[in-house]
């Protein structure tokens, strides 16, 4: 069915209000007949990444303008996963099938079902409904279908069939009419039918914030022994249930080696994993987690939630709400985390969150319960404890007033980034690895820069990287080369990878006198050499300091030469500087970049990276202009810019 026919079913040949939305852009409203002009315009916007909608009811775009109700409708959307990504189409398909089933159960054939990638928009065309009735009907439909709660206002916009869903621009999806039935309902008949389906539902009159939804108390499935044991936090019973289950199923040798080889290869199907550990005849010793991150990694990725809850694989009836059809399932995220997700009640959570919900306990109790059920021990060595104390001291110190007083130059440079430094120390506390690497009193941990960025709540990876590199330059953090890490930790780092990005290895020393004194000295150098964070790069370090300093910071790229382009830029800049000084005795950075082609901001940064080296190579210096200098060089302009002049001047 084409878009024109679709729209005519709602609006006949009247004018229609369209809206085009794109994240970060102003919403665009269009009003008119769906003619070639409007169509071209909407298609054009759609191609530019706008999603295209229409106001379903007639009269305007505001509630008070709506004068004719054209349809009742719902938006069934399966949402996003824990990481904020859209579900893959296989999962969406399962969801859609349940929606169709529910629509069938409802009993009144919809006029349209529009396929919208993440679900369906379902419409029932109506005659003779008023706005008040509309809202009430919509709320009941939302309740019955568990559909999008926002879809109850008379002026609501819905996705226009025949246009692309563009929220993920790489994977556009054409929204089309999936089902069409030539039906139109009388409002009274529809309402009567709806009321028979949801007899005891009274829409809430009170309008609190529409954004926050109060979690409904869970109604727990009492027929399931597992759930009952979890509810009572009964460790012994849980062990019994799980052991019984797996005694029946004899594990293969492969299963056992997999258990022993934990920390080896990433295992997609980790079903046969850790639960074998407490079945004493397979693996008699408890499983040891060497730090908190390790513990969480085991809990989130190695335990099979289906077995824990005593439910089957695939879709199963939710244990948290009165579920007549299976609407819950377990998904495995990219990092291996297993997540329980229910389309019915909307619950989404890890195994610990499940325990919190079922047993109504706090996080500590939930983690303790899981640890005991699966015999997971958090074993910390004396060394680890000592290192953690050291890191806590670090944090306390950098947040103290003494820091600024004792190391003012260092403080000046890092003060903006203190939260970063605190976070990195925190990250080290959680991830500090055990014993043998800790001999020289440093906390060693590994992470990808992206994970650090996320942890620091900064999505700009490059900037996060620069800050980490600044700390490395100052010696507040050490970057370790892969070669210096023992094989067993490399394996572990690989197994723990939170994402597909390169893992880096870090060491944080104690921020004691010699460490901070040295850092303070480096901070002075930073200033003397006119180094800035905007120009921060390997090139800046190589050119302003030396290769050694750069290598310490850029551990993974030690043998990479500077790019040809940057060499060319430096050569060109050198020539311009020398020419200008030859002719007028001085030059400014402004004058230099004027003579080089390219974007001004780029040029500025590039110049900063190579300037110090040029100054030192040709006995030049960068000084702020003063009256004497301005007079000497005949500078008439206002202000006192930085000048590049010969070392021997003045």
- Residues with Cβ within 8 Å of residue 155, at least 6 apart in sequence: 55, 57, 60, 61, 62, 63, 65, 66
Q: How far is the CB of 338 from Zn ion (least distance, A)?
A: 16
342 interacts with Zn ion by CB under 5 A: yes
Closer residue to Zn ion (CB): 137 or 320: 320
Q: 């003060």: which residue's tokens?
A: 415
Q: What are the angstrom distances between the C-alpha of 545 and each of 184, 473, 525, 539? A: 78, 11, 9, 10
Q: Which stretch binds Zn ion (CB under 5 A): 158-166, 263-271, 311-319, 504-512?
A: 311-319
For Zn ion, the closer of residues 321 and 442 by Cβ is: 321
Stretch that binds Zn ion, among 61-69, 126-134, 341-349, 585-593 (CB under 5 A): 341-349
Distance CA 54, CA 10 (A): 10
Q: Considering only residues 159, 321, 492, 609, which one is a binding residue for Zn ion as defined by CB under 5 A? A: 321
CA 607 – CA 595 distance, rounded (Å) = 12
Q: Minimum CB separation from Zn ion for residue 317, in Å?
A: 9
Kindly state the smallest distance separating residue 94's Cβ from Zn ion, in Å: 15
Strands (E), 292-422: 328-332, 338-342, 348-349, 376-378
Regarding 344 and contact with Zn ion (CB under 5 A), the answer is yes
Structure tokens that stand for 445 in this block: 């941990």
Q: How far apart are CA 302 and CA 262, in angstroms?
A: 9
| Cα dihedral 112, 185, 127, 99 sign | negative
Burial (CB count within 10 angstroms: exposed 0-12, middle 13-18, buried 19+), residue 2: exposed
User: Which one of the spans 28-36, 72-80, 138-146, 312-320 is the region binding Zn ion (CB under 5 A)?
Assistant: 312-320
Nearer to Zn ion, 340 or 471 (CB): 340
Cβ nearer to Zn ion, comparing 110 with 344? 344
162 binds Zn ion (CB under 5 A): no
CA angle 85, 89, 90 (to 5 degrees): 115
Tokens of 403: 């820091």
Q: Does 309 bind Zn ion (CB under 5 A)?
A: no
Q: How far is the CB of 492 from Zn ion (least distance, A)?
A: 36
Among positions 274, 320, 443, 629, the unique one binding Zn ion when judged by CB under 5 A: 320
For 230-381, where are the E strands, in sequence order? 287-289, 328-332, 338-342, 348-349, 376-378
Size of the site for Zn ion (CB under 5 A): 6
CB 76 within 8 A of CB 122: yes
Hey, what are 284's tokens?
Answer: 């008699």
**CB 556 within 8 Å of CB 481:** yes
Kindly tell me which of 229 and 318 has the beta carbon lying closer to Zn ion. 318
The smaller minimum CB distance to Zn ion, of residues 226 and 321, is found at 321
Three-state DSSP at 447 gives: strand
C-beta of 323: minimal distance to Zn ion in Å? 6
Q: Which stretch binds Zn ion (CB under 5 A): 120-128, 336-344, 493-501, 586-594?
A: 336-344
Residue 345 sits in the site that holds Zn ion (CB under 5 A): yes
DSSP category for residue 499: S
Q: Which two tokens stand for residue 22?
A: 């794109």
Given 318, 351, 395, 470, the residue binding Zn ion (CB under 5 A): 318
Does 99 interact with Zn ion (rule: CB under 5 A)? no
Closest contact distance (angstroms) between CB of 150 and Zn ion is: 21
645 binds Zn ion (CB under 5 A): no
How far apart are CB 322 and Zn ion at their closest, in Å?
9
Interface residues with Zn ion (CB under 5 A) are: 318, 320-321, 342, 344-345
């Amino acid at each position: 069915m084409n878009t024109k026919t679709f729209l005519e079913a709602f609006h006949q040949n009247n004018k229609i209000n369209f809206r085009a939305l794109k994240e970060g852009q102003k919403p665009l409203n269009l009003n008119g007949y769906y003619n070639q002009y409007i169509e071209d315009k909407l298609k054009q916007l759609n191609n530019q990444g706008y999603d295209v909608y229409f106001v379903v009811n007639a009269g305007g775009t505001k509630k008070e303008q709506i004068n004719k109700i054209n349809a009742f409708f719902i938006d069934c959307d399966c949402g996003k996963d824990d990481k904020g990504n859209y579900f893959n189409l296989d999962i969406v398909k399962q969801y859609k099938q349940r929606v169709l089933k529910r629509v069938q159960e409802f009993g009144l054939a919809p006029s349209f079902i529009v396929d919208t990638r993440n679900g369906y928009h379902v419409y029932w065309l109506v005659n003779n409904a008023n706005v008040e009735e509309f809202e009430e009907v919509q709320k009941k439909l939302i309740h019955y279908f568990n559909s999008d709660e926002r879809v109850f206002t008379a002026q609501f916009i819905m996705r226009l069939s025949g246009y692309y869903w563009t929220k993920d621009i790489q994977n556009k999806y054409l929204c089309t009419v999936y089902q069409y039935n030539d039906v139109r309902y009388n409002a009274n008949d529809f309402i009567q039918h709806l009321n028979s389906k949801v007899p005891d539902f009274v829409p809430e009159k009170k309008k609190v914030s529409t954004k926050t939804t109060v979690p409904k108390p869970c109604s727990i499935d009492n027929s399931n022994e597992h759930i009952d044991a979890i509810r009572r936090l009964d460790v012994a019973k849980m062990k019994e249930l799980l052991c019984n289950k797996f005694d029946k199923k004899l594990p293969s040798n492969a299963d056992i080696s997999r258990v022993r080889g934990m920390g080896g290869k990433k295992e997609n199907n980790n079903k046969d994993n850790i639960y074998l550990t407490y079945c004493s005849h397979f693996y008699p010793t408890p499983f040891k987690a060497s730090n908190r991150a390790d513990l969480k990694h085991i809990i989130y990725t190695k335990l099979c939630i289906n077995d824990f809850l005593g439910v089957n694989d695939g879709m199963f009836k939710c244990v948290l709400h009165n579920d007549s059809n299976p609407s819950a399932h377990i998904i495995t995220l990219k990092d291996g985390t297993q997540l329980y997700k229910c389309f019915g009640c909307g619950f989404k959570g890890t195994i610990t969150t499940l325990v919190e919900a079922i047993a109504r306990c706090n996080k500590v109790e939930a983690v303790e319960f899981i640890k005991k059920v699966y015999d997971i021990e958090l074993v910390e060595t004396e060394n680890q404890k000592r290192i953690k104390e050291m890191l806590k001291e670090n944090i306390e110190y950098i947040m103290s007033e003494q820091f600024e007083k004792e190391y003012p130059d260092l403080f000046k440079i890092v003060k903006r980034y203190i939260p970063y430094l605190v976070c990195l120390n925190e990250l080290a506390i959680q991830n500090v690895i055990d014993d043998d690497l800790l001999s020289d009193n440093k906390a060693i941990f590994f992470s990808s820069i992206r994970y650090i960025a996320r942890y620091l709540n900064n999505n700009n990876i490059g900037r996060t990287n620069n800050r980490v590199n600044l700390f490395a330059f100052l010696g507040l953090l050490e970057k370790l080369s892969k070669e210096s890490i023992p094989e067993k930790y490399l394996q572990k780092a690989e197994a723990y990878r939170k994402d597909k990005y390169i893992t880096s290895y870090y060491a944080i020393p104690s921020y004691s006198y010699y460490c901070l004194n040295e850092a303070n000295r480096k901070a002075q150098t930073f200033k003397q050499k006119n180094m800035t964070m905007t120009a921060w790069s390997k090139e800046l370090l190589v050119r302003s300091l030396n290769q050694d300093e750069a290598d310490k910071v850029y551990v993974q790229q030690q043998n990479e030469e500077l790019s040809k382009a940057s060499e060319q830029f430096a050569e060109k800049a050198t020539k311009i500087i020398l020419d200008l000084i030859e002719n007028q005795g001085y030059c400014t950075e402004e004058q230099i970049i004027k003579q080089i082609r390219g974007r001004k901001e780029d040029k500025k940064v590039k110049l900063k990276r190579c300037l110090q080296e040029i100054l030192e190579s040709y006995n030049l210096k960068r000084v702020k202009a003063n009256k004497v200098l301005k007079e000497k060089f005949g500078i008439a302009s206002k202000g006192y810019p930085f000048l590049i002049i010969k070392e021997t001047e003045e």
